Amino acid sequence: MTDEPRSPEPTPIDPAVEAALVGSREARAATLLEFARIPSISTQPEHAADMVTAAEWIAARLRGVGATEVEVCETQLHPIVYGRIHEAPGAPTVLVYCHFDVQPVDPVELWETAPFEPFLRDGRFVGRGVADDKGQLVMHLSAIEALRAAGRAPAVNLTFVFEGEEEYGSESLFAWIPQNRHRLGADVAVISDTTYFEGNVPAITVGLRGIMYAQIDVELSPVDLHSGQYGGSVENPAIALARIITALKGPDGRVRIPTFYDDVVALSDADRAQMAALPFDEESFREETQVPALVGETGWTILESRTARPTLDVNGIWGGFQGDGAKTIIPAHAHAKVSTRLVADQKPGKVFEALRDYVAQVAPRGVRVTTTFIHGGEASLTPTDHPATQAAARAIRAVEGVDPVFIREGGSIPVTAAFSSVLGLPVVLAGFDQPNCNAHAPNEWLDERNFETGTRIIVRLWDELARLPRGAQ
């Protein structure tokens, strides 16, 4: 920390950059649509080539804005794109992170249009990845392009790291970061993969939940059994699985895995008061999701339950006959994807072990049950008074005309913890999507206004961060 004043006035608008952005509006939209046509689904092996295509697409764009050392780095799975624009001697260095992989598209029948034929209509981009996270990646590329068009270089030194496994646990990135520490030196990391607050209220995210994702497999027999001949004499694996799942979480919303809450950092009264002051309307939130009723953890508000408290969900369940009509079998096996959302200081590995042991303990006899770790990421929590956080707040105020609120998000960005703990960087989560953008669901969208203001905030953010003395963190 230095004696830099907390909240100086924002830097004035650069008319040449603004003119460039106004002039490039259609071209920038076309760029996002082009990028979103690439079906870069990281969790599905058949899309491995698309991951490479997306990475090469970014690398070409980086080269086009004069980035140096641009590289599509091979990893054990999907590539990472690296590049830098270090043209501000003496100024701070900013590590910029977005991801270019997207979620799978199923249930594809609920998409109103083809997921990978994105379009811009009535002020909305629609398509898989337009919000999470390709839109934000293109905002970063656009900000540089606008600076170049205005004859300027970024006022800070920028190092870009764009990854392709954010939706798959970021394993390759976790291996790559320590191996590339020598070219990742920076003063601060800026991650653009978060959202504004409900109602499109400008926000900076200071808390993210972590994740532990696992699969539970329940096996009865090598083949389905006739439910008439065997019903009543063998354990039903779907019922056994139901019994296990029921044991994992109580009707009060509390996770029943022993030791689960042991490492949770308690919310202070101040934290709770700050959250209570946020403009969060439960009924609008409920209407947006169209659920019959919100159900949180007993003793906590809905906002606390979904952002500041850990929880457990079943992400998928399957076994036996799923078609129309009837098939009179006892399924040979049944399966569930089960994940927990974690808060500071829960550790994914420890939580997985507790889950695995508990499942083994509550599993009914008569079936074979195994629990397998799929991926994990730690939660993160950043102080709101950090100079970099305050710089981002000024950039937002300059463009949006209001101070941002400081929020916690329920989602997970595992890389946040890696930047913070491995590289020792303060992390600013500056993201511009709206929270109801259908990330991970059919009909994902991005408001063009957010695409426009987000790009401008990024331009301002480089100016604001340039005012920080090096070592401000």
Q: Does the active-site annotation cover 166?
A: yes
Minimum gap (Å) between residue 341 Cβ and a second copy: 5
- For residue 264, the 8-state DSSP code is P
| 145 catalytic per annotation | no
Residue 456: both structure tokens together: 């401008």
Q: Which is nearer to a second copy, 1 or 223 (CB)?
A: 223
Cβ-contact 39, 466 below 8 angstroms: no
In the DSSP assignment, the letter for residue 299 is T
Stretch that binds a second copy, among 48-56, 66-74, 269-277, 439-447 (CB under 8 A): 439-447
Q: How far is the CB of 207 from a second copy (least distance, A)?
A: 12
Residue 343 φ then ψ, to 5°: -120, 165
Are 291 and 302 a contacting pair, CB within 8 Å? no
Any alpha helices (H) in 370-447, and if so which ranges?
387-400, 414-421
Rounded to whole angstroms, how far apart are CA atoms 266 and 284?
28
Nearer to a second copy, 23 or 250 (CB): 250
Q: If binding is defined by CB under 8 A, does position 43 make contact with a second copy?
A: yes
41 within 8 A of 103, measured Cβ to Cβ: yes
Q: What is the footprint of a second copy within residues 213-272 (CB under 8 A)?
A: 213, 220-236, 238-239, 241-243, 245-246, 248-249, 251, 253
Distance CA 110, CA 441 (A): 9
CB of 133 to a second copy, least distance (A): 13
Strands 68-73 and 80-85: antiparallel
| 334 binding a second copy? (CB under 8 A) | yes
Interaction with a second copy in 303-322: which residues (CB under 8 A)?
A: 303, 305-306, 309-322
Binding mask 66-95 for a second copy (x = CB under 8 A): ------------------------------
The residue count for binding a second copy (CB under 8 A) is 104
Q: At what angle do helices 414-421 and 171-179 cross, to 10 degrees?
A: 20
Does position 101 bind a second copy by CB under 8 A? no
192 binds a second copy (CB under 8 A): no
User: Residue 445 corresponds to which tokens in the numbers above?
Assistant: 């969208």
SS3 at position 443: coil
* Contact flag: residue 106 with a second copy (CB under 8 A): yes
Please give the residues from 146 up to 175 whose contact with a second copy meets the rule CB under 8 A: 167-169
Residue 302 contacts a second copy per CB under 8 A: yes
Do strands 203-208 and 405-409 pair parallel, antiparallel, or not at all (unpaired)? Answer: parallel
Q: Report if residue 410 touches a second copy, rule: CB under 8 A.
A: yes
Which residue from 118, 127, 207, 331 is in contact with a second copy, where contact means CB under 8 A?
331
Is 70 or 427 the residue whose CB approaches a second copy more closely?
Answer: 427
Minimum CB distance to a second copy smaller for 45 or for 401: 45
Contact present, 95 and 419 (Cβ < 8 Å): yes
* Catalytic annotation, residues: 101, 166
